[in-house]
Structure 1
């Protein structure tokens, strides 16, 4: 989700749009020409202490009013962005929301199943304040509709094929990831280490395959890392901690296979990054993964309920060098078919659609518009713009 936001900000800046960002944690004051406002936040303890939940304050609404945006983009509106939705509705602003995390499903994985029903209803109500709701895969479009989210569409996938490239492969990185055994076969997982990622599915795999000279590198960290390290102790598994930049690109490119058992992905951007690195993927046939990985072309998909299918997929690519190389080359070609510029240009058309829908709705006698007229404090619609933003006029997001 963060990667998509960062690359989108870069492209919006290149397209001439002005953006104001509100972010929890410790963000920079600006990024890619966008001003970034740090908001107060608290860690989501005890379930996910690394996740910082933004806290709404009146200063956020004040900053929005001063910025006077044409449209508000609500990124995963659960806490901070949910406040943005309520604040935007009160001020009669066009809104677009993006659905990046299947929060109800994550609640089950994190032991919060009792709040799933009320949480789903809450998520539905917040998203349905927006004129457009975007998901990052067709599977998640269907999931959003299933839980009652309206006006849903697809935000096209995109991948950085410059940063993630087969040329980033390095003997030094392979030596590191194999714990000094570069001649062994290497499967890699990259990403967050938390319960919803289903990483324990990798334990029987390395236990079966290590006798055949296979090693597993787990790149990243998260609230489940310490427990995973204890459970994987005694296997050919190396936990590297976080990597970024060239080191991360090198970790992808230096692997033989990317092993991805997660069943909760809305897209699986790390799978695309592996494909761009010319490394085929063995992934669970679940969530948005079938949108990212073409089974039999850029990787192999397995039934997440079948340990045997997972093993068979790994064996096929780890021990068949010719097939692995051919599938890696196809994975690179597939990754090159998507660009951040094209995805962001499509996003801008969705912003325009949200603006059109909003102003069309504001002129009807709906209960929504009556409530806003009675209790809201709407910002004036820009008088110098026609109903649809024209290409020559940059927008505010």
Structure 2
């Protein structure tokens, strides 16, 4: 089986937390890696962002990343990438023609890739599987009041993909419901594949590991630490955590609280300084530390150094950060949205908060930080919970979905294109 995966707007090799790179990058790279280990040949097509990348990057046996030149290497925002869809699709067609590659199936990630895959499906006459990761209608439904809404153009493009893909792969049953509710998707064309986590990398730290992690990060040993990991944008909710920390310290100025925010600004209007200024305005700048995004091998140190990881997103299709934190033995306080109620076992491995009121978040964080016994129990249970989610299992499920799709006959041309003699 040979699969063409398309991830146009962000390469799976990019550092998560920088620009548009995030959970989707982790998802695509890990699923592709484990599919390749199971004998599936995978080529991941992405847009080239610098000339030094090379056209073809060999990741391992059966796995390549192919960088397609479409527009200038730098200077294009994600919002401007629709202007390069034709160039990107053309680049893929040219690559396939030059190298004589044939694919059994196309799997696209995000709506930009989906639009390209929709075209290539009909050129190559192979099935199209699509994973949205996020949806415009859902993001607009859950967005923060100050967040920029997603465009109607994007929503229309997503509707086209829902109508035309052979199968839609989602992370959770909640996503299935979102597709049916907002896009009138046919439930029998939706398949659920739960994402996983790297439980070999993200492991619980010993007391010594925690001490080393805090020393490395310059965190006082006896402080209570809450960490946020992710892109800095309103939708991910770092402002909710900063405001909650201010509320906690207003209630108890002597509280030994430290907040770590690890990530880079993402989006046209996002600025790191906005969040630093917010912390300064609220009088908690001395308790909030901002760290640049870092690779998974270093990210585990942050999880191990934290007492709690906060995930105050306005929506998450699953919540990979929450799962990585739990695999590292750290309880999670998360918003009760999207797939987070599945990623976090409420009352066992963390706490779910209704809404994004900083006072409610302050209550939840305070209660768990002050209850050492419960927090320690949750830390142990979190590791067990995370062990039930593996990328190997995810890839196996996806391979089964591919096999099912390939065993199903692709519909012939729509009837609206049929021409009778009276149309001549």
TM category, shorter: 0.7 to 0.9
Is 2:113 the partner of 1:98?
Answer: no
Point out where structure 1 has 5 or more consecutive residues left out of the alignment. Answer: 372-397
2:238 corresponds to 1:188: no
Number of equivalenced pairs: 365
Q: State whether residues 145 and 152 of structure 1, in contact with CA within 8 Å, keep that contact through their aligned partners in structure 2.
A: no
1:214 counterpart (257, 274, 299): 257
Provide the residue aligned with 1:230 in structure 2.
277
Distance 1:106 1:248 in 2: 27
**Which residue number in structure 1 is paired with residue 88 of structure 2?**
56
Q: Give the equivalent residue in structure 2 for 1:68.
A: 102
1:157 shift after superposition: 2.7
Q: State the match for 1:113 in structure 2.
A: 149
Q: How does 1:299-378 map to 2 (within 5 A)?
A: 299-357=350-408, 359-362=409-412, 366-367=414-415
Distance verdict in 2 for CA 1:159–1:91, change over 3 Å: same
Instruction: Label 1:152 to 1:187 Cα distance change in 2 as closer, same or farther (>3 A).
Output: same
Secondary structure of the 1:263 match is: coil
TM-score of the two chains, using structure 1 as the length reference: 0.84
Corresponding residue for 2:6? Answer: none
**Of 161, 166, 171, which residue of structure 2 is paired with 1:126?**
161
- Residue 89 (1) aligns with residue 89 (2): no
Per-residue CA deviations over 1:176-235 (Å, capped at 9, x if unaligned) read: 54x442211000001111121122111221113342111100011123322111111241
Deviation at 1:46, TM superposition (A): 6.4
Shift of 1:290: 0.8
Q: Which residue of 2 aligns with 1:174?
A: 214
CA distance in 2, matches of 1:88, 1:291: 33
**Take 1:126 and 1:142, find their aligned partners in 2: how far apart are those partners?**
16
In structure 1, what is the Cα distance between the partners aligned to 2:132 and 2:75?
20
| Aligned structure 1 segments of 4 or more residues deviating by more than 4 angstroms | 41-50, 52-55, 105-112, 368-371
Q: How far apart are residue 102 of structure 1 and its match? A: 2.3
Q: Cα RMSD (Å) of the superposition?
A: 2.8
**Structure 1 residue 252, shift from structure 2 partner:** 0.7
- Residue 141 (structure 1) aligns with: 176
Greater relative CO (CA pairs within 8 A, separation 6+): 1
Of 12, 31, 38, 2:67 maps to 38
Deviation at 1:171, TM superposition (A): 2.1
SS in 2 for 1:267: coil
Unaligned runs of 5+ in 2: 1-23, 420-424
The alignment's TM-score, normalised by the length of structure 2, stands at 0.79
**Partner Cα distance (1:290, 1:369) in 2:** 45
